């Protein structure tokens, strides 16, 4: 398949491909999405095939108007005020909410669950693509399963050239990390995936918000969490604060063994959240074998950065 590259003036043409049941990668403010018509099972199935994604890992449905929400989600009367409060504060933006799904949403989108993840993106290209397609768009991050999420059209091209119908070019994704995911179907709301909208910020609107215990609960709550994620080819070793001083010794020792090593000291990187996935992908290109990375403070967006680093790391030194 020849992958067509579109610019921001050709979104209508890209939307025609979505309407025909094809896949189009598009920018959002978080990361690139790999989009298909969310209401068409056949199109959605293609996403899982080209990504190599396990079929029980559900997708996020992207919309641009609040009226769409009613068509795809059932909101319990006791939750209406809460949901309204959350979306009026954070939408459009990098927040995904989990609600009970309606009949219209194919089980192929939700990985067989009776709940659905929904997000209203802010990025103009994403919004125009959804509007011109005249349907909600199901989209995971645009990367081969297990690889770091794509944050610019070049990343998407590397992973999917020849495998998808189109890619819309852009200036890259502003945030660089995937959206915050919260479950609003449970008694107390639960943070399933940290992102740019921080736990501290959400707590102001959702005082009962809990952080999910990744090791136990999240396996059921957010199927995506059980898979290895964000990993470049290199082995990533995370150094907690107490072990930071060991980095030079490790570096030296790998170098003596003739290994290619990259040290990442977060304070030396301009806008780490935005550039993390880019740096990890760069390491693959440079055939780095070991990435030694120092931890960051888990406050605000730091919680999201550490979540991604922990999932990518194969070892942690304390």
Q: CA-CA distances (angstroms) from residue 63 to 35, 67, 303? A: 12, 9, 27
The values of phi and psi at residue 249, to 5°, are -65, -45
Return the one option of ligand TXA, Mg ion, none that residue 179 interacts with (CB less than 5 to 8 A, by type).
ligand TXA
DSSP 8-state symbol, 25: E
| Closest distance of CB 149 from Mg ion, Å | 5
> Cis before residue 92, ω within 30 degrees of 0?
yes
| Closest distance of CB 229 from Mg ion, Å | 7
Q: Which is nearer to ligand TXA, 288 or 312 (CB)?
A: 312
CA dist., res. 150 & res. 229, Å (int): 13
Return the one option of Mg ion, ligand TXA, none that residue 28 interacts with (CB less than 5 to 8 A, by type).
ligand TXA
Residue given tokens 């954070």 in the structure block: 90
Q: Which is nearer to Mg ion, 262 or 308 (CB)?
A: 308
| Closest distance of CB 305 from ligand TXA, Å | 15
Return the one option of Mg ion, ligand TXA, none that residue 117 interacts with (CB less than 5 to 8 A, by type).
ligand TXA
Residues 111, 223: contact at Cβ < 8 Å? yes
Q: Which is nearer to ligand TXA, 222 or 295 (CB)?
A: 222
CA dist., res. 267 & res. 279, Å (int): 14
| Closest distance of CB 111 from ligand TXA, Å | 7
CA dist., res. 175 & res. 71, Å (int): 29
Tokens for 225, please give them: 């969490």
Tokens for 18, please give them: 């979505």
**What DSSP letter does each residue of 68-134 carry, written as one string?**
HHHHHEE--GGGHHHHHHHHHHH-SSSEEEEEEE-TTS-HHHHTT-SEEEEE----HHHHHHHHHHT
Residues that bind ligand TXA (CB under 6 A): 28, 30-31, 33, 57-60, 96, 98, 110, 113, 115-117, 119, 139-141, 178-179, 181, 192-193, 221-225
Return the one option of ligand TXA, Mg ion, none that residue 133 interacts with (CB less than 5 to 8 A, by type).
none
| Closest distance of CB 25 from Mg ion, Å | 13
Taking CB under 5 A as the rule, does residue 179 contact Mg ion? no
The values of phi and psi at residue 19, to 5°, are -60, -35
The residue at minimum Cβ distance from ligand TXA is: 224
Tokens for 9, please give them: 């003036």
Q: Which is nearer to ligand TXA, 143 or 295 (CB)?
A: 143
Return the one option of Mg ion, ligand TXA, none that residue 51 interacts with (CB less than 5 to 8 A, by type).
none
Interacting residues with Mg ion between 119 and 148 (CB under 5 A)? 141
């Amino acid at each position: 398949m020849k992958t067509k590259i579109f610019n921001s003036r050709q979104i209508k043409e890209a939307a025609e491909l979505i309407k025909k049941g094809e896949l189009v990668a598009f920018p959002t403010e978080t990361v690139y999405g790999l989009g298909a018509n969310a209401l068409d099972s056949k199109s959605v199935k293609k996403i899982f095939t080209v990504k190599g994604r396990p079929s029980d890992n559900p997708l996020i449905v992207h919309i641009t108007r609040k009226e769409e929400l009613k068509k795809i989600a059932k909101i319990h009367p006791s939750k209406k005020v809460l949901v309204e409060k959350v979306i009026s504060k954070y939408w459009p933006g990098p927040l995904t909410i989990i609600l009970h799904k309606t009949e219209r949403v194919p089980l192929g989108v939700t990985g067989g669950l009776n709940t659905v993840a929904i997000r209203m993106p802010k990025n103009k290209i994403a919004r125009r693509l959804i509007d011109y397609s005249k349907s909600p768009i199901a989209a995971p991050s645009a990367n081969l399963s297990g690889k770091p999420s794509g944050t610019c059209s070049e990343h998407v091209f590397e992973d999917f050239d020849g495998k998808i119908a189109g890619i819309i070019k852009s200036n890259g994704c502003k945030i660089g990390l995937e959206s915050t995911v919260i479950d609003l179907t449970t008694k107390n709301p639960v943070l399933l995936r940290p992102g740019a909208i921080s736990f501290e910020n959400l707590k102001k609107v959702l005082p009962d918000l809990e952080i999910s215990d990744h090791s136990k609960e999240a396996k059921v709550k957010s199927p995506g969490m059980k898979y290895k994620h964000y990993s470049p080819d290199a082995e990533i070793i995370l150094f907690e604060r107490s072990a930071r001083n060991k980095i030079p010794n490790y570096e030296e020792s790998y170098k003596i063994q003739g290994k290619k090593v990259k040290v990442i000291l977060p304070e030396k990187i301009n806008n780490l959240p935005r550039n993390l996935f880019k740096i990890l992908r760069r390491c693959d290109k440079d055939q780095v074998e070991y990435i030694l990375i120092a931890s960051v403070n888990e406050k605000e967006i730091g919680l999201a950065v550490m979540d991604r680093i922990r999932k990518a790391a194969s070892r942690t030194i304390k």
